[in-house]
Every structure is written in C-alpha cells, then in structure tokens.
Structure 1
Amino acid sequence: MPNILILGATGYIGSALSQSLLRSGNRLVYGHARTPEKAKALQRDEITSILAPSLTSPSLINAIATHRIDIIVDVAGADKETFDLLNLVKKAGAERLENAQREGVLVPKLGFIYCSGTWVHGSSLLPVNDLMPVGTASAPLPPAELVAWRTGLEKEVLNARDVLDVAIVRPALVYGRSSAIWTSLFSPLLQAAQGQGEGNSASSAAVKIQADDDSRPGLVHVDDVASGFHCAVDKLSMIAGTGVYPVFDLQTSQEDMRGILGAAARELGWKGGVELVGAGEDLFTRAMCTTGNCSSGRAKIILGWTPRREGFVQGMGVFVRA
C-alpha cells in the first residue's frame, strides 16, 4: 500500500483529494499541516498529519524518509516556497537512488506531482492542449500574468525526471463545494439581493461586477479535480520513463462569464440587472476572466480520468448555496 504525502492537504483541492485517496483503500495518506490546529483537523479526517511550519522545514523533508513516502502531491499553491521545496525533494530523491545503488538493489524513484493550472495557456479563443509549450517564445500565447511564475516551475519539475518520477496536473477554473475562489464575483450579488426590498432604490439598479463581458472561462468541479489527481497518483509509476509527456490539463466545460453571473444572480434572488464592467488592472480578476479552451483528451486516455460533475450554470442553484 503506497504512502502518499499531500502538501496543502487542508486546502480546497487537497482535502477533496485526501478523501478520494482514503475512500479507495489503496493508499496510506499523509498530510502536511502548518499548525497544531490544522494537524488535528487532518487527524479527524483519518489523515496522518506531519506538522511543520513551512514546506521547506527539516521536519517535513525528514518525514519523506521516515514515513517512506512514495509520492508527494503538491497542491499547496505556493510560489517561491515550492521552488525551494522542489530542490529539497530532488535531493531526497537522489539520496534514495544513491542508497539503493550502494546496496545493489532496484527501487522506484520518489514521485512528485505538481498542481499547476490551465491559466498558464493564457486567454485563447482557439483550442489549446497540454502538449503545447507554455511560457516560451514558441508558446501560442503568454500565460495569465498572475501565474506566469508557474511556467518556470513546471520546467523545473520536468527537468527533475533524472531523480524523480514527475507529473504536472493543470486544473481549469475550479468550482463546487465552498467555491471560495468565486467569492469576489458572487458577494456583490448576494449583498444586493439581501439589501433589496420594497422602497429600496437599489433593487432597480444594476449590480456592477468587475469582470470581462466576453470572458469564457474553462471550468472543472473540485470533485473531478480530485479524481484527476487520484488518477495521476495511480498511473505515475506506469507512465514514468515511458516517453509519455507527463502534463495533463483538466477541463470539463467552457461557459461564458455573463451566463455564470446571471445564473448566480437569479439563484441568489437578485431581481435587478448585472453589469460586467471589465476586469481592470487587478491581476486576480484578470486571471479569473481568462478564456480557457483546453482539451482534456490525454488525461482521459492516458490517466483514465472520467469526470462526472459537468455544468456550472446548470447546477448553480446548488453551488451558490454551498
């Protein structure tokens, strides 16, 4: 039964992935916790916690050997910290191979699966796929500025294949469950709905939302993200060293931002109009409005990924109340 360490285990994607792996019964699941409170939360969910204040803490790195971790899944969403972490994981992977060579035995490489995102493709009306370069002069488009740093990290992960078995999984814009990433767009609608009423002039005004009217984001439900990473964990040793390019985009639909916000307004009870005034200069808002036209065919064929939660607008009544 392989041992899996999840970095970001208490987060949005990490918690969904942890439960997916536990339900399979085929994995021992460890989770990184930065505080004692987070460690207790993991233990309540039957995840073995590893307490360390940062991703580069000696206690976390030492735990890789102590607990005989087979695969590390990084869904922590860190930037500079992840670059430093990767260097330490590469060192741990190299030491594992060196020890095996001294003992004259063959051992599998330490596995490392990194969570990137489809925003690295940039905003495209034309189809893009996970075989295309990102962040280079030959890339079809530049990445969303907010996540431009991820392209360099992806390169470092791929270059670590001499000492690690690696994969990169790129979810599209995630929705479902808490949908915290959508708060900045949904909150004005909720506040307007709660404030409207007889004699309230606000009920006839349009709510102004900072978003691009022509945006068509690529989407994926958090449950399907978890199953995608689960598939990557299951197939990592099978694709490593085979020549398969280990990068996989996860997207199930593409829906227009106007339709998404219109559906959210209706389900929240807002009876007035909704005006999309543009993303402006805020990098996060601009990234949220990235038009995603990705293909997940390789994830389905190679990893065996079978998404089951398709359609954001269709299920909006459930999602806005989650």
Structure 2
Amino acid sequence: MNVLVIGATGYIGAAAAAALARAGHEVAALRRPDGGAPPDGVRAVAGDLADPASLAGAAEGFDRVVHAGPPLGAEIDLAGADALAATGVPVLWTTGAAVLGGGRADEDSPPDPHPLVSWRAEVERRVLAAGGQVIRPGMVYGNGGGLVPGLLARKAAERGTGVYIGEPGVRWPVVHVDDLAALYVAVLERAGPGTVWHGVGETVRLDAIAAALGGGRAASWPLEEARAELGALADLFTRDQEVSSERTRSLLGWRPVHTSLLDRLGERSGAAPV
C-alpha cells in the first residue's frame, strides 16, 4: 500500500514508518515547512498537523493514512479527524490507554478518558464511524525513548531513589516501541474497518518500575507535589489499569517479543537505552 504517516519524525511514528517500509509498503511522511527530515527512504509530503485543512490535500492519492502524531487538543484533533474522514482515505489513528477507565478493560470497553485527553474518545468515535481504525498503546518504552528513560529515570537520578506518584500498587499497560510498530503493520494488512486494537505487551506496577530504576529502592512522590511540577499529567500516574490485548493478539496474530520491562531495566548498564 501507499501509506502516509503523520508523526513520522517522532518517537512512535518513526518506528511505525520504518516497520511499514520493511514490510514492503511505500511510505511517505507528513512534514511541516520547519519540520525535521523524514527517516531514510521515506519521502516527505507537505502538511502540518496543527493545520487540519492541510491534511486533506496531503492525504490525496494515498491508500491509507497512519496518524501517530501527538495530541494537540480538542479543536485541532477533532478538526483533523474530520478533514481526513472527508477524503475517504481510511485512517489508522493512535490514541492510547489513557482513553480507557481504571480497572480491567479490553477492546470492547467503552472509553472513559482521563481529563488530560478527554476529547480523544470523540476522535475515536469519528474515526471509527468513517471506517477507520484505532490503536490504543500502553505506555511506550524502548530504544531510549518514552517516559521510562525520560521522566522516571530523571527523577530517580535527582532523588537518589526510584519514585512513583501517589500510592503503591498502581498498574500500567506498557509496550515496547518495536512491538507497537509491528502492530501498525498487522492492522494495516489484516484488520477490518471500524475496529479498535490494543497495543499492550504486559502490565507492570509503577512502583516496581521505580524500584528497578532506583537500584531496588522506591519512594512515593506525593500527588500534590507532583501536580505542582507536572500538572494534570501527575494524576494519570495514579490511574490503575489492566488493559487486555487478547483479542488483538488472537485476531491479528500480533506477538510482542519484548515482554519484560523490569528484566530490561535490571539488565541495563549505566548508559544503555531501555
């Protein structure tokens, strides 16, 4: 297929674009005038995620659009979803586990989004109604990117111990970026229209991640203190979730190969990426 990837210069989008190219698809990257260069072998197509009207022209002539860009807010994201839907080109849109509520959830669970991304449930609805597809990744890690080597590792270094926000025992769905990239290929090649898929490799306790980053030691970062620095993002760290990807694995044959974040953290050397 001829695929346009939105966000191809970012963390998730670059991995998705590379995986699609390896699978034999012709891949192009949306690129704003002052944007970075696309990955090797990927041509650039003019457009700007922050300018929803430009997306319709950018999508012209493509078989599929993969949206792996960051959330930009309700007004821009909803307008972007509508602009792409109007082209008739099927869209695979990335949201995330934050669109689900606490506790156990699967691909059929109704959205109950965290206030930080409240509008993404409506984005999903519009994309699915237009015959597109949705991928909901867990917390993405791997290859030196994501929250683990970023915020969490930085806080562990600052405080001399691993930190988690609020009470212990909060669980998060996680996925390695390479496994998530493989899921984009599987959805584009094998999934039907109007479907939701979960990119979750495993469920991990955040206090266990903190302990692994802190050399076996972890302490709570009080929620009010975390809010003062992180804003609404701090509350997201207190949402306990167990998100199933059983249907995604069964129907698409998706098999994550990176299935132990804690083992990877335990094996890393000082400068080695997670």
What TM bracket, shorter-length normalisation? 0.7 to 0.9
Q: Which ranges of structure 2 fall in alignment gaps of 5 or more residues?
A: none
Counterpart CA distance in 1 for 2:50 and 2:188 is 20
One-letter amino acid of the counterpart of residue 128, structure 2? L
Greater displacement, 302-311 / 274-283? 274-283
Which residue of structure 2 lines up, in the alignment, with residue 77 of structure 1? 70
Cα distance change of structure 1 residues 11 and 32 upon mapping to structure 2, 3 Å threshold: same
How far apart are 1:55 and its partner, in Å?
Answer: 4.7
Q: Which ranges of structure 1 fall in alignment gaps of 5 or more residues?
A: 94-109, 136-142, 194-205
Counterpart CA distance in 2 for 1:211 and 1:321 is 28
How far apart are 1:69 and its partner, in Å?
Answer: 0.4
Which residue of structure 2 lines up, in the alignment, with residue 102 of structure 1? none
Cα distance change of structure 1 residues 3 and 308 upon mapping to structure 2, 3 Å threshold: same
1:198-230 residue CA offsets vs partner (Å, 9 max, x unmatched): xxxxxxxx6765444221111111111111111
Which residue of structure 2 lines up, in the alignment, with residue 17 of structure 1? 16
Paired residue for 1:87, among 82, 86, 90?
82
The structure that is strand-richer by fraction is 2
Secondary structure at the aligned position of 1:255 is classed as strand
Counterpart CA distance in 2 for 1:90 and 1:158 is 10
One-letter amino acid of the counterpart of residue 182, structure 2? S
1:15-65 residue CA offsets vs partner (Å, 9 max, x unmatched): 0101111111x2100111224451xx21x5111111334453655422322
Counterpart CA distance in 1 for 2:183 and 2:206 is 24
One-letter amino acid of the counterpart of residue 153, structure 1? V
Asked if 1:279 is matched to 2:228, the reply is no
Counterpart CA distance in 2 for 1:89 and 1:216 is 35
Paired residue for 2:109, among 132, 138, 142?
132
How far apart are 1:172 and its partner, in Å?
Answer: 0.8
One-letter amino acid of the counterpart of residue 83, structure 1? L
Asked if 1:318 is matched to 2:268, the reply is yes
The aligned runs of 1:109-188 (5 Å cut-off) are: 110-124=89-103, 127-135=104-112, 143-161=113-131, 166-182=132-148, 183-188=150-155
Which residue of structure 2 lines up, in the alignment, with residue 64 of structure 1? 59
Counterpart CA distance in 2 for 1:277 and 1:283 is 15
TM-score normalized with structure 1 length: 0.75
State which structure, 1 or 2, has the greater radius of gyration over its C-alpha atoms: 1
- Cα pair 1:213 1:258 within 8 Å, conserved: yes
Counterpart CA distance in 1 for 2:100 and 2:52 is 32
Cα distance change of structure 1 residues 184 and 211 upon mapping to structure 2, 3 Å threshold: farther
Which residue of structure 1 lines up, in the alignment, with residue 185 of structure 2? 230
Which residue of structure 2 lines up, in the alignment, with residue 98 of structure 1? none
Cα distance change of structure 1 residues 214 and 16 upon mapping to structure 2, 3 Å threshold: same
Which residue of structure 2 lines up, in the alignment, with residue 197 of structure 1? none
Paired residue for 2:25, among 13, 24, 27?
27
State the identity as a percent.
22
Secondary structure at the aligned position of 1:293 is classed as strand
Counterpart CA distance in 2 for 1:156 and 1:313 is 37
Which residue of structure 2 lines up, in the alignment, with residue 301 of structure 1? 250
Secondary structure at the aligned position of 2:108 is classed as coil
One-letter amino acid of the counterpart of residue 143, structure 2? R
TM-score normalized with structure 2 length: 0.87
One-letter amino acid of the counterpart of residue 34, structure 1? R
Counterpart CA distance in 2 for 1:298 and 1:88 is 30
Secondary structure at the aligned position of 2:214 is classed as helix
Structure 1 residue runs of 4 or more that deviate by more than 4 Å after TM superposition: 57-60, 206-209
